[in-house]
Amino acid sequence: MSLQDMSLEELEAHAKKLSMRATNAKMELHDLSEELPTDWQKIPDVAQQTFEIYRDLDAARKAIKIAKQAKE
């Protein structure tokens, strides 16, 4: 289901889940950086996953804003 097809309530629930995933990804990236140079090979994968989650969270937040404006 695309963001445009979700109700405001579904969007908010989706954003909440993404926010939790974003926090976890941020912590994983942080932990990886603190353990350098150990596991330095994981940097691209962990960074890409973090980027994608934050990109999706940003899109969900924008969709929520649009949905709220449409209700007015």
Kindly report whether the global pTM for this prediction surpasses the value 0.85. Answer: yes
- For tokens 């950086």, the residue is 33
CATH of region 3-71, choose from 1.10.287.660, 3.40.50.300, 3.90.1010.10, 1.25.40.10: 1.10.287.660
For residue 72, what pLDDT is reported? 82
**Domain segments of the chain as ranges:** 3-71
pLDDT band at 4, cuts 50/70/90?
Answer: confident
Neighbours of 46 (CB within 10 A): 17
3-state secondary structure (DSSP) of residue 72: coil
